[in-house]
Amino acid sequence: MRSLMRMTVIVAAVALQGCVGTPTVLDKSQQQSLNSMQLFNKDASPRFIAYVACTSEDESCATVHKIFSEWADQRQVTLHLINADDAMFNGVTVSPSKAANKPYRLAIKINPLLVPSFFQFRGGEHPVGGYYPPRVGYRATVYVVDATSGAILQELPVHHEVTANPNDTANGYLQRVVDTLLTSVDPAYRPSDK
């Protein structure tokens, strides 16, 4: 009887997992706010030019740039890599030639986070300590900018981290968390399995 009950719970969990849909890093209000902008045409084609600014103390921005480039190629998005101090993040008016024929600019400022594993021990009367596994993720802000005026219409902070296996490289985890960000912003995007 127990094994039947356990099997029923497992089947129900698997079925419910399929109902959850595409993973997202945006909360419900952020998702609704972003959806209200109509960043995509009815055929799911983008109505924006994308800009990405990545800052990191290591080489992880090369991986982030590659992930965004793959997204841009697949979704036919014009992508520009910019600096984190670019005027776009301050709501500065854009020249008409840069506005092109799209009503929006989607700007993402991202900072990859790679936290190595470590042991921590604090002595004293009640010693505390333990192993902390590595973590991979990012802190980012997604901006929706009016292409003509340069006004910032949306500013959405996001943060996503996952626990990593210390025997794996960080690139696969970084790919997964950034892909989740991209599918949150662009639900029609289908990351390639690697």
> Cα–Cα distance between 168 and 114 in angstroms, integer?
13
Q: Is residue 153 part of a domain?
A: yes
**Token pair for residue 96?**
């008409």
The domain of 176 spans: 24-185
What is the per-residue pLDDT across 34-85, written as a single tens digit (0 to 9) for each?
888 899 999 999 999 999 999 998 889 999 999 999 999 999 999 999 999 9
Q: Is residue 123 part of a domain?
A: yes
Task: Residue 156: name the closest of 107, 121, 103 by CA.
Answer: 107
Classify burial at 94, counting beta carbons within 10 Å of its beta carbon; exposed 0-12, middle 13-18, buried 19 or more: middle
Q: Is residue 95 part of a domain?
A: yes
Q: Is residue 171 part of a domain?
A: yes
- 147 Cα distance to chain centroid: 22
Q: What is the DSSP letter of 182?
A: H
Q: Is residue 16 part of a domain?
A: no
User: Which pLDDT value is given to residue 91?
Assistant: 75
In CATH, what number is assigned to the domain containing residue 106? Answer: 3.30.160
Q: Is residue 10 part of a domain?
A: no
Mean pLDDT of the chain: 82
pLDDT tops 90 at residue 106:
yes
Task: Residue 50: name the closest of 58, 42, 41, 39 by CA.
Answer: 39
Overall domain count for the chain = 1
Q: Is residue 178 part of a domain?
A: yes
Q: Is residue 96 part of a domain?
A: yes
Task: Residue 105: name the closest of 83, 137, 80, 131 by CA.
Answer: 80
52: which strand partners?
A: 81, 108
Least confident of 63-67, 97-101, 113-117, 185-189: 97-101
What is the per-residue pLDDT across 108-140, written as a single tens digit (0 to 9) for each?
999 999 888 777 767 667 767 787 888 999 999
pLDDT band at 10 (very low <50, low <70, confident <90, very high): very low
Question: At 20, which helix (H) or strand (E)?
Answer: helix 2-20
User: Which pLDDT value is given to residue 131?
Assistant: 79
